[in-house]
């Protein structure tokens, strides 16, 4: 059964004393141990986390305002690449990072061709959080001519 974890409270106080929105990371991963680990690690970095245990669950239950989407390559049914492609077709693709255990040639080649950051599991040091930060920064920076 697909379950979605609710994101943690959205507000904290910024330097100005006004409430600041914590970035929201949606994680699409079918391994509950990995989800629990990511919820803890990303929570300590100041992120809210919403978890989805399949690509289909994300497509049907997706919440608005996702700052970065972390997607496992190997998912039941639709894989991570197919999910990212479908979100792109729908015009709903937030900044994203692909994660995989022992990624094969197909996964590596697709990620390289599509310029999608790929982080291998198990996660070492700050590899994943640095990719998430970079994806969010890139999406918030003005494009050429701005």
Domain layout of the chain by residue ranges: 18-138
pLDDT digits (tens, 9 = 90+) for 58-103: 999 978 899 999 999 999 999 999 999 999 999 999 999 999 999 9
Q: What pLDDT score does 144 carry? A: 52
More confident residue, 56 or 15: 56
Q: Please report the DSSP string for 4-64 in residue order.
A: BPPPPP-EEE-TTSSEEEPPEEEEE-S-HHHHHHHHHHHHHTT-EEEEESSHHHHHHHPPS
Class (C level, CATH) for 18-138: alpha beta
Q: What is the 3-state secondary structure (H, E, C) of 70-90?
A: EEECCCCCCCHHHHHHHHHHH
CA distances from 29 to 3, 11, 78, 113, 142 (A): 11, 25, 12, 23, 31
pLDDT digits (tens, 9 = 90+) for 38-54: 999 999 999 999 999 99
Q: What pLDDT score does 60 carry? A: 94
């Amino acid at each position: 059964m697909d379950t979605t974890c609710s994101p943690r409270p959205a507000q904290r106080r910024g330097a100005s004393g006004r409430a600041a929105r914590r970035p929201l990371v949606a994680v699409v991963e079918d391994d509950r141990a990995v989800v629990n680990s990511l919820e803890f690690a990303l929570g300590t970095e100041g992120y809210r986390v919403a978890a989805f245990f399949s690509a289909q669950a994300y497509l049907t239950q997706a919440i608005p305002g996702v700052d970065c989407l972390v997607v496992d390559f190997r998912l039941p049914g639709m894989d991570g690449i197919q999910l990212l492609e479908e979100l792109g077709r729908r015009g709903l693709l937030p900044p994203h990072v692909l994660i995989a255990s022992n990624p094969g040639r197909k996964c590596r080649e697709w990620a390289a061709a599509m310029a999608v950051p790929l982080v291998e599991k198990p996660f070492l040091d700050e590899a994943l959080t640095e990719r998430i930060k970079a994806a969010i920064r890139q999406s918030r920076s003005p494009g050429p001519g701005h």
